[in-house]
Amino acid sequence: MTGRTVAQGGSGQNLAASSLIEANSENFPVGSFLIPRECRLHVHAFYVFARQADDIADAPDIAAEEKVARLEAVRRALSVDEASLPDWARAYHRSLVESGNSPAHGRDLLSAFIQDATKSRYRDWDEVMDYCMRSAASVGRVMLDIHGETDADIEGSDALCRALQMLNHMQDCKQDYLALDRVYLP
């Protein structure tokens, strides 16, 4: 990766990610010492992007149509038009532009969140796995991109991410049902 302008306001980006981690009871610190220093700001930018988009998809006080409109606007503008993006998506946009990484995986993640806004039940495992590919495997692929992994086991990463997403669905099954009337298990 070249150019680290994403670091402009770097401590501000770290604070934004740290605040979101605390507010959302995350079980791991994003940008820990295990992540190479040169990747941390990119990971933080992606974390803020993903967390904020997920919060929109799960917001009980925003109508489904509004959720879709907001997330779709971000999906269209990502790595194309920074001025059209909300503040929370701009650091990730800059990360993509500066690193030369594709916005495809971020857009896939947004498509899963758009689906969350309108779909509450899954007919079969194929539907759930399609969702998990976009909601979790896309995150793994973003991390591989950020770390410059070109010879990584993509299929293995995708399988691990889908499995972790299913564990998360099972862990949150009651909460998702009661708070969002959403059930990921067919």
pLDDT tens-digit profile of 75-99? 999 999 999 999 999 999 999 999 9
3-35 burial code (b ≥16 CB/10 A, e <16): eeebbeeeeebbebbbebbeeeeeeeebbeeeb
DSSP class of residue 49 equals: H
pLDDT of residue 92: 97
C-alpha 147/C-alpha 97 separation (Å) is 15
Whether the per-residue pLDDT at 28 is higher than 50: the answer is: no
DSSP class of residue 28 equals: S
pLDDT of residue 34: 85
Indicate the pLDDT class of residue 25, thresholds 50, 70 and 90. low
Whether the per-residue pLDDT at 100 is higher than 50: the answer is: yes
For the segment 126-138, the average pLDDT, to the nearest whole number, is 97
Whether the per-residue pLDDT at 8 is higher than 50: the answer is: no
pLDDT of residue 13: 56
- Give the pLDDT confidence of 57-69 residue by residue, as tens digits: 999 999 999 999 9
pLDDT of residue 5: 41
Helix (H) or strand (E) holding 129: helix 125-132
The structure tokens listed for 78 are: 């990502």
